[in-house]
Structure 1
Amino acid sequence: MRSALIVVLGALLTACGRPGAAIPAPHVDVGTTDTATTFLVSAPGLPAGVPITVTLFTPAGTRRVQGRSGPGSAQLTVSYARAGLTPYRVQVGPRAVTGELRRVPGPPVTPLQLKIGARAVRVTWPRPPALVLHPLDAQGNVAALLVTVRSTRPDGTVVTAHMTPRHLYAWTWLPTGHVPGLMHVVATTGHAAGEVGDVDVLPGPPARAQWTAARRVDALADRAGNRVGDGEALSVQGTRDGWNVTLPVTPVNARAALRADVPGGTLTAEGWATTRTPANSR
């Protein structure tokens, strides 16, 4: 009788010593807060003191937290709040549970940071400046809410554009119109607002002019009819005493005075030119 009892006890000890024999299959519930991810591990009959390891396989590398079970359950918290799809592995003694954590971004927060390029443009440029925006939540995730961009042009015209972030950013063109001055740009999404972005809309290069005398040019304007800006790069090309001459000219208040007479002078600027007529050679 004593021998049979010893055999039975030996068999039970051997069974309990086999990997996983005393650890029931665990169940894992995953929860999220604003700043962390929690893993609740439970199993009927789970003994206390079983080592538990939670591993997140993030784009920046693995995040690992270790602990031990209490009677029947355990809760482990990982400080990880990035949005997206993240695989995980929960090791409970010799048993493992794998899965994927899907986390969505939170609401965007103020201030939104507008990235505008360029901050100064000519009204006659064929391509307007662009705005790029990364609307972030409190944890640095790009929010997915609709973004509204409101541009107020120098002439008072208001242009509104709507876009949804894709590939972690939102962007749009900012048409400037044809009037020089400051254009103000504001972006909003959800309850978040951004700083005001200013774009300096400048006149285009000279495309119109009137020779009013041998050494004076008036009514300098771009092709939209705006007066050219002071200090615009201009030059007069011609011949003098048998030499080819180039004379820099600096306009002020849409007028330019030549420092010397250049017979047959041609005023040039950025692909445009106008030649003085004989009537204006005096």
Structure 2
Amino acid sequence: MPRKILLALLLTVVLALEIGVFWLQSRTPATSSPRPAALQAIRAEVSTGGVRFQGEGWFRVSLFTPAGPLVEEGEGEVFIPYRRAGLIPYRLEAGSASLEGTLRRRPGPATTPLRPKVGARAVRIDTPRQPSLVLHPLDAQLNVAEEPVRMKVFYPDGSQREWVLPVVHQLAWSYFPPGSRKGILKVVVQSGAARGERAEVDVLPGRIRSGVLVLLQPEAATSGRDRWALEVQGLRDEKGNLAPDGLAVSLIGGALENLFLTRSAPQSRLPLSLPLPDRVGSYPLRAWSEGWVSNEATLRARPAVQVAHLPLYWSGNQLHIGPVVDDLGALPDDGTPMRLRVVDPAGRLLLEERIPLASGQALWTPPPLTRPFWLEVELAGQRARLEVPHP
């Protein structure tokens, strides 16, 4: 009996639960699918941080950007963060319907600091290629602003010029003349209320167009120690600017042909000290730099000593020179050079040497020779010729 009662109670509870569940289901309304939006009624708006779409019902939005599509969906409103300026193609979808369109975002005003790029950093006044400025004026979202750029150039001579540059193809740019005076040229840019850093160009003198070659000591003795002294002065370009330091100057003419010197030229003055050749005589000379050629000047080399007689004699296979005395009976300075040239009977040069005198004398040993040769000796304009003996 108790067992029958327990089973009856359990059946009663189960039945009650089923009745309760049925009653609750009958009271709960069925869930319906979202209602598709009317695509034509959706409003699109470009805001500061992105693009906002508003309408009635559920819809999906796809923005087609250079980096790929951005897709969001929602009911009533969809916001997609996107800050790049320019055209923004999009597509709306609701159910099986779709609609495509295009929005445009305008860039904002340029922001400080503007960062101008100037090239080259150094130019010569007469360069055929002028320096240039390039600028990407960016707004707060890093888009290139559309407002024109005002560029001011301040020249070393105190003058200034101004240009208004349109922004075309994402940049503002222009060439500008380097002016007529060497120094630091400054460039300043402005776009609306935005300001930029100052850019600088080092304007260098143009090619040399004028100058003069001055002889400070045009005559010297062929002593091996004396030197000519001369100076290139007044080196300027066609605008009158002084030549820069380190200008390369070439000396051409006479025995100094193809001599090339590079010296510092502070204040356009280039002092030069040149050694003399062995031979007595006159030597025309010109200075040359970057196409400019100076006036011709003449340098003179005189004998270090006046020798009336040149004592020479052989002792074995050695040539004894001296003692040499000048016309006053004095010995020449030690180190006075003597030139010796060995030639064959046809006069072809085989060997050339320079030997210094010491106490008016010198010794020379010829190289081993197998046939007759001649020796030409020269000192201070005095020449002698004698046969070199066989060893």
Structure 2 segments unaligned to the other structure (5+ residues): 1-31, 219-229, 277-282, 302-391
Counterpart Cα distance in 1 of 2:48 and 2:258: 73
2:247–2:262 CA contact under 8 A, matched in 1: no
- Find 1:55's aligned residue among 40, 48, 62: 62
How much does 1:265 deviate? 3.2
Conserved 8 A contact 2:248-2:261? no
- CA deviation map 1:23-63 (0-9, x unaligned): 352322111222211122x23xx3xxx4x432111223222
Aligned to 2:292: 272
CA distance in 2, matches of 1:261, 1:120: 37
2:131 corresponding residue in structure 1: 129
Counterpart of 2:259 in structure 1 is: 245
Q: CA deviation at 1:239?
A: 4.2
Tell me: CA distance 1:24–1:185, structure 2 relative to 1, closer, same or farther (3 Å). Answer: closer
- 3-state DSSP of counterpart to 1:240: helix
**Structure 1 residues 155-234: aligned runs within 5 Å:** 155-213=157-215, 215-234=230-249
1:15-26, aligned counterparts within 5 Å?
A: 23-26=36-39
Question: Match of 2:266, SS?
Answer: coil
Residue number in structure 2 paired with 1:144: 146
Q: Percent identity?
A: 36
Q: Structure 2: how far apart are the matches of 1:140 and 1:254?
A: 49
CA distance in 1, matches of 2:191, 2:204: 30
Report SS of the residue matched to 2:284.
coil
Unpaired runs of 5+ residues, structure 1, are 1-15
CA contact (8 A) 1:236 1:268 kept: yes
1:159 Cα deviation from its structure 2 partner = 0.4
Alignment of 1:45-84 (within 5 A): 46=57, 50=58, 52-64=59-71, 66-69=72-75, 73=76, 75-84=77-86
The alpha-carbon distance between structure 1 residues 277 and 93, as it changes in their structure 2 partners (threshold 3 A), is same
Residues 190, 281 of structure 1: CA spacing in aligned structure 2 closer, same or farther, 3 A cutoff?
farther
In the superposition, relative to structure 1, how do residues 270 and 61 fare at CA in structure 2: closer, same or farther (>3 Å)? Answer: farther
Root-mean-square deviation (Å): 2.5
Larger Rg: 2
Q: Does the Cα contact within 8 Å between 2:85 and 2:104 map onto a contact in 1?
A: yes
Decide whether the 8 Å contact of 1:25 with 1:95 is kept in 2. no
* Comparing 257-266 and 104-113, the one that deviates more: 257-266
Contact persistence 2:185–2:201 (CA under 8 A): yes
Q: Is the 1:237–1:247 contact (alpha carbons within 8 Å) kept by the matching residues of 2? A: no
User: Deviations for 1:156-194, whole angstroms, at most 9, x for unmatched residues?
Assistant: 101011121111111122222111111111000111011
- Kept after mapping to 1: 8 A contact 2:246/2:262: no
With over 3 angstroms needed to count, the CA separation of the structure-2 counterparts of 1:275 and 1:248, relative to structure 1, is farther
Indicate the structure whose relative CO is greater, using CA pairs within 8 Å and at least 6 residues apart.
1
Separation of aligned partners in 2, 1:68 and 1:143: 33
Residues 1:212 and 1:82: Cα distance change in structure 2 (over 3 Å):
same
Q: Where does residue 274 of structure 2 map in the other structure? A: 260
Kindly provide the CA deviation profile for residues 73-102 of structure 1, in whole angstroms up to 9, marking residues without a partner as x: 2x2221211111121012223322210011
Aligned equivalents of 2:141, 2:296: Cα separation in 1: 65
